[in-house]
Structure 1
Amino acid sequence: MIKLATIGTNWITQEFLNAAKSIPDLILTAVYSRTEEKAREFAAKVGAERAFTSLEEMAKSPDIEAVYIASPNSLHAEQAILLMNHGKHVLCEKPLASNIKEVQAMITAAQQNGVVLMEAMKTTLLPNFQAIRHHLPKIGKVRRYFASYCQYSSRYDAYKQGIILNAFNPAFSNGALMDLGIYCIYPMVVLFGKPQSLKANSVMLESGVDGEGSIVLNYGDMDAVVMYSKITNSYIPSEIQGEEGSIVIDAIHTPTKVEIRYRDGRTEDITVPQEQHPMYYEALEWAELIRSENRESETNSHAHSLLAAEIMEEARKQTRILFPADQNPLCP
């Protein structure tokens, strides 16, 4: 059994635990929150035996082997490194950290301590993403990757009333690129690797984060276009265009309908059943890595996480999105 703890008491942590229930090896032992009231309330809600308000105490606890982190982005690196330095395996919500230096520091800590560190990017471990990878050769030479994730945030209504919640606060390394753009970028990295160059544009909000943006990436013999937004909705699918056909993906973040539209007019449905909660597959991958001698996912690998961070940091530099975490003394 893998004795599990969580950091974060929001909806995403609840969803992860709902998914993890289907994995017998993951046994929830403890939860963490900054306040005792929230920690105890959440522990009672999810059936955890212990509630911590001290990360140091939780890191030292022999009753915990692995931790799922769903705190604000700006806290990921510091929390993960503390836990890994005490021998805990870590599954950390996307984006893995605020910048390249933090990601590299996390990877170094994982390697030095012999523990599993994996970015909780659900998309690339879902059955229909595996179907995309399997059928990709059918469309011939790939010439364009297009991914869009534009979802109006309910927190934007508060923002327009002058209330800046975490989602639009640069202190927490947030914004459209970090929260939604990563869902477009990470699958691209897994499928096509590192681009030669990129050009980014953003619509900035007064708080200092991007409300929406787009990136055009050059791969030499193909290009990639990604679009993301927290202040508008989009209803168009994502697509991988090849010389012999295109793979049409209903939703890049959680693909449930995937088909190939061939140049000659044929259509092939390559959708596969997804019988589990979307977050089940990342939890399973993590648990299997912990049980095995492998300390790194082949799909959500350290290299892929680092490359995604590099792309996002370059996009931020071009659009002048700066976070306080970029001056983090944790990563000199």
Structure 2
Amino acid sequence: MIRFGIIGTNWITERLLSAIREMDDFSLTAVYSRSEERAREFASKYGAAAIFTDIEQMANSNEMDAVYIASPNSLHAKQAITFLSNGKHVLCEKPMASNTAEVEAMIQAAGQNHVLLMEALKTTFLPNFKSIQENIHKIGRVRRYVANYCKYSSRYDAYKQGEVLNAFNPVFSNGSLMDLGVYGVYPMVVLFGEPVEIKANSVMLESGVDGEGSLLATYRDMEAVIMHSKISDSYVPSEIQGEEGSIIINNISNPDKVEIRYRDGRREDISIKDDKEAMYYEVKEFIDLIKTGQVESNVNSYQHSTITAKILEDARKQFGLYYPADKV
């Protein structure tokens, strides 16, 4: 049984706990919130015995073996390093941190303390992503990767009324690229590695973050196009184009329908049906690694997280988005 603490009493933690409700080796034992009332309410709902309103006290406690961090992006690095330095394993929500320097510092802390650090980017552990990896050879030489994730934010209406919530506040290292674009970037890195060059554009909002944008990544013999938005919806699927056919992916962040369309007109459904919620697989990977004494995932590896962080940071700088965390 792996004892977990959770930082962040929000919808994403609710979703994670729903996904692993039948997992026998996960035990929620501690909850952190800035509000004692909120921490107590959340802990009571999910059966956690300990609550904390101080990160240092939580990290120093013996109530947990690992922690899941789902706080605002700008807090990931400091919080993760605090727990890693106290011998706790860390599952950190995507994006791993505000910039490359923070990601590298987190990795260094994990190595120094011989504990596991993993970025919680769910897509790359899903059965249908693995199906893409296993079947991609069927489309011949890959020439283009197109990832599209545009989803109107539930917080954008408040923004238009003059209320700038965390999702649109640069203080928290947020914006469309970091929050949604990463779902296109990380799978690209896992599938094809580090690009030779990237070019990025965005539509900037008055609050100082990107509302939407696009990224073009150049590889030696192919290119990748990533589109993302928090201020509009898109109903266009993602796609991997090869010389012999294309893989059509209905949802790049959570693919549940994947099909190959060949040049000769044939279609092949390579979808894998399963009854697990999407976040189940990243938690299972994390727990399995702890149980087998490993300190790095081969899927969401340090290399993949570092390359992704470099791409995100380079892209931001190209369209002029800098966070307070970049100046530290």
Question: TM-score, normalised on structure 1?
Answer: 0.98
1:165 is matched by which residue type in structure 2? L
2:294 is matched by which residue type in structure 1? N
Whole-Å Cα distance in 1 between the matches of residues 269 and 124 of structure 2? Answer: 19
Whole-Å Cα distance in 2 between the matches of residues 24 and 113 of structure 1? Answer: 27
What is residue 96 of structure 1 aligned with on the other side? Answer: 96
Whole-Å Cα distance in 1 between the matches of residues 327 and 44 of structure 2? Answer: 38
Whole-Å Cα distance in 1 between the matches of residues 98 and 274 of structure 2? Answer: 31
What is residue 14 of structure 2 aligned with on the other side? Answer: 14
Whole-Å Cα distance in 2 between the matches of residues 111 and 19 of structure 1? Answer: 29
Whole-Å Cα distance in 2 between the matches of residues 191 and 304 of structure 1? Answer: 10
**In the alignment, is residue 247 of structure 1 matched against residue 247 of structure 2?**
yes
What is residue 141 of structure 1 aligned with on the other side? Answer: 141
What is residue 50 of structure 1 aligned with on the other side? Answer: 50
Post-superposition shift, 1:224?
Answer: 0.3
Whole-Å Cα distance in 2 between the matches of residues 104 and 23 of structure 1? Answer: 31
Post-superposition shift, 1:148?
Answer: 0.3
Post-superposition shift, 1:160?
Answer: 0.5
3-state secondary structure, aligned to 1:310: helix
What is residue 292 of structure 1 aligned with on the other side? Answer: 292
Percentage of identical aligned residues? 63
Listed one character per residue, the Cα deviations across residues 110-153 of structure 1 (whole Å, up to 9, x for unaligned) are: 11111110000000000000000000000000000000000000
What is residue 24 of structure 1 aligned with on the other side? Answer: 24
**In the alignment, is residue 260 of structure 1 matched against residue 260 of structure 2?**
yes
Post-superposition shift, 1:198?
Answer: 0.8
Post-superposition shift, 1:20?
Answer: 2.2
3-state secondary structure, aligned to 1:154: coil
What is residue 199 of structure 1 aligned with on the other side? Answer: 199
Residue correspondence of structure 1 range 31-110 to structure 2 within 5 A: 31-110=31-110
**Counterpart contact for 2:89–2:116, Cα < 8 Å:** yes
**Gapped regions of structure 1 (runs ≥ 5):** none
Listed one character per residue, the Cα deviations across residues 157-182 of structure 1 (whole Å, up to 9, x for unaligned) are: 00000000000000000000000000
Listed one character per residue, the Cα deviations across residues 54-90 of structure 1 (whole Å, up to 9, x for unaligned) are: 1111111112110000000000000000000000000
3-state secondary structure, aligned to 1:248: strand
What is residue 152 of structure 2 aligned with on the other side? Answer: 152
Listed one character per residue, the Cα deviations across residues 240-261 of structure 1 (whole Å, up to 9, x for unaligned) are: 0000000000000000000000
Listed one character per residue, the Cα deviations across residues 226-246 of structure 1 (whole Å, up to 9, x for unaligned) are: 000000000000000000000
**Counterpart contact for 2:200–2:315, Cα < 8 Å:** yes
3-state secondary structure, aligned to 2:275: coil
**In the alignment, is residue 315 of structure 1 matched against residue 315 of structure 2?**
yes
**In the alignment, is residue 208 of structure 1 matched against residue 208 of structure 2?**
yes
2:156 is matched by which residue type in structure 1? Y
Post-superposition shift, 1:156?
Answer: 0.5
Aligned-residue CA RMSD (Å)? 0.6
Post-superposition shift, 1:220?
Answer: 1.8
**Counterpart contact for 1:22–1:280, Cα < 8 Å:** no
**Counterpart contact for 2:50–2:63, Cα < 8 Å:** no
Post-superposition shift, 1:293?
Answer: 2.1
3-state secondary structure, aligned to 1:213: strand
Question: TM-score, normalised on structure 2?
Answer: 0.99
3-state secondary structure, aligned to 1:39: helix
3-state secondary structure, aligned to 1:278: coil
Residue correspondence of structure 1 range 108-187 to structure 2 within 5 A: 108-187=108-187
Whole-Å Cα distance in 2 between the matches of residues 67 and 20 of structure 1? Answer: 15
Post-superposition shift, 1:38?
Answer: 1.1
**Counterpart contact for 1:176–1:229, Cα < 8 Å:** yes
**Gapped regions of structure 2 (runs ≥ 5):** none
**In the alignment, is residue 277 of structure 1 matched against residue 277 of structure 2?**
yes
Whole-Å Cα distance in 2 between the matches of residues 210 and 22 of structure 1? Answer: 38
3-state secondary structure, aligned to 1:64: coil
What is residue 190 of structure 2 aligned with on the other side? Answer: 190
Post-superposition shift, 1:26?
Answer: 1.0
Structure 1 runs of 4+ aligned residues shifted over 4 Å read none
2:39 is matched by which residue type in structure 1? A
Post-superposition shift, 1:154?
Answer: 1.2
Whole-Å Cα distance in 1 between the matches of residues 81 and 75 of structure 2? Answer: 10
3-state secondary structure, aligned to 2:155: helix
**Counterpart contact for 1:256–1:274, Cα < 8 Å:** no
2:44 is matched by which residue type in structure 1? A
Segment of structure 1 superposing worse, 190-199 or 37-46: 37-46
Whole-Å Cα distance in 2 between the matches of residues 62 and 144 of structure 1? Answer: 49
